[in-house]
Chains A and B, each alone.
Chain A
Amino acid sequence: MLQFINVSKRYPGGADALKNVSFELQKGEMAFLTGHSGAGKSTLLKLIAILERSTHGQVMLDNQNIGRLSKRNVPYARRKIGMIFQDHRLLHDRTVFDNVALPLIIAGLDHHEIKRRVRAALDKVNLLGKEQRYPITLSGGEQQRIGIARAVVNRPPMILADEPTGNLDPELSEEIMQLFEQFNQVGVTVLIASHDISLIDRMGYRTLQLSQGEMVSHHG
């Protein structure tokens, strides 16, 4: 599903954010990405989301070299990845429903289908009945679940989460992780960037560890 082949990223100014990184995530696999801050986690995620391009090497998503995509095709590649952020990145002037519906509106689905899928996604994250609320009126854990519903509503083959439990207490973190496991069980490839070593150890999935831009371990 996802493959990094000798990927390096150097930002203008000379800093090497990633050095010769190679790894592969199989379809339907679930893995964690760890490392200290500044180890290159965000750069790696940005390369997958095509917010940055690699300086050397290839980033393959679904057998497509996404580092070489033309600007026009970038949005269509992004639709294959559901992205989840630590700060949720929700639109605060829109309802929960509108937030979750955004990827479907962008994809140009008709509104019956949008309604059906949004309700299904909200049901999955246990937020059914709160469609017309505004995100700001919900708790941090609930806001994170809106973000997750938005990420999966388009049924992407891959989910990318950047510190999804960073602001949550252990109990809520556990719940969120269980959600990811459920998506993984129906075949979605999941990559979660996290600091939370104890949680990662407890879950027992494969861990990719970055240190100063290098992949120091990528085994389970």
Chain B
Amino acid sequence: MARRRSHIKRPANLFNLRAYLLIHLHTFFASLGRFSRAPFNFMMTVSVIAITLSLPSGLLVSINNLQTLSGQIDLNNNISLFLNQSVSLEKARELTESLDGHDKIAKSILIDKQSALEEFRQYSGFGSAIGTLTNNPLPHVIQITPLAALKDQASLESLISELKQEPNIQQLQMDMGWLNRLNGILDIAQRGVSIITLLLGFAVLLIVSNTIRLELQNRRDEIDITRLVGATSAFIMRPFIYSGFWYGFLGGVFACLLVNVSVGLIDGPTSSLATLYDSSFSLVFMSLKHALLWVLFSILLGIAGSWIVVGRYLSELEN
């Protein structure tokens, strides 16, 4: 009877630790058990989360692949100088020699119009069409390699504007230019993907919240009864938090699988295309580290989504 008279305060932590862990373990599997009773609904929610998350993670993998591709391209700083049609081969040779002596240029090579046409005939696949041409439409081209010291944009520009003064040069083209532009575009794409990730992450939060809200409504009686027999908010919240965890965990895992299966499907055709270009390029899959980060992100969204809804619901109940 002495026990009954005493004020029931919170039980001491130490006494409770083992039981506390047991409750957690029990709830952990009980929440899985509940899903097994309604597997269709559960898998539907998991699929929605997986598809939602596969979009940003898939985009990131694509960007990674483009970056690897652009990294494989031989980074030379060559500039091609297209000469006027009227310039003779003699004149072109003279110009090449004088450029060779230029103090900012390491090397210059003349590609005369005749050999350029031959090369084009051989590799372009337009051989027969070229055969019908009466005269050679290609200009002489001088390919120059600036000194390795001229790395920065400004000194390259000064060389280019100097070359533009030369009246025999009709046009000049930097091989590096498009690569820089591609990298610039990839930077923008990456920023874009960050925004999409944020938005779709928010969408996953709402998906989980809504699912948990429905579950809460279905189990309203159970919640009322457990409250009446003295359950704390933490006790009532726990199964829902675990539900959120499972939604997030499985949604994240399936998103990574979706992305990697897609990469796998595209990889075959990509490799055969790359062989046509004499490249051994093949697609990069999502790395384990990235996959783990995505799953973690997804779990956090799942837990946060259910926490917000259940916390709100319970604080409205208790006066």
Contact = CB atoms under 8 A, between A and B. Distances in A.
A74 B318 contact: yes
A109 B235 contact: no
A171 interface: no
Interface in B1-45: 1, 3-5, 7-11, 16, 18-20, 22-23, 26
A83 B224 CA distance: 12
A107 B11 contact: yes
Contacts of B225: 89-91, 102
A166 interface: no
A157 interface: yes
Nearest to A105: B23
Contact of B11 (A103, A108, A110): A108
A62 B10 CA distance: 16
Interface string B285-319: 00000000000000000000000000000010011
Contacts of A155: 3-4
B20 A108 contact: yes
Interface stretch (B118-126, B147-155, B169-177, B226-234): B226-234
B288 to A, nearest CB: 38
Contacts of A78: 227-230
Contact of B229 (A110, A111, A150, A157): A150
B9 A106 contact: no
B94 interface: no
B229 A106 contact: yes
Lowest 4 A-B CB distances belong to which pairs? Answer: A79-B230, A108-B19, A78-B230, A157-B4
Interface of B: 1, 3-5, 7-11, 16, 18-20, 22-23, 26, 221-222, 224-233, 235, 315, 318-319
24 contacts: A63-B7, A64-B7, A71-B233, A74-B318, A75-B230, A76-B9, A76-B10, A76-B230, A77-B8, A78-B228, A78-B229, A89-B221, A103-B230, A105-B23, A105-B26, A106-B226, A106-B231, A107-B11, A108-B11, A108-B16, A108-B19, A110-B19, A154-B229, A157-B5
Given A71-B315, A75-B233, A155-B4, 7 more contacts: A49-B228, A62-B7, A75-B227, A76-B230, A79-B230, A89-B224, A187-B1
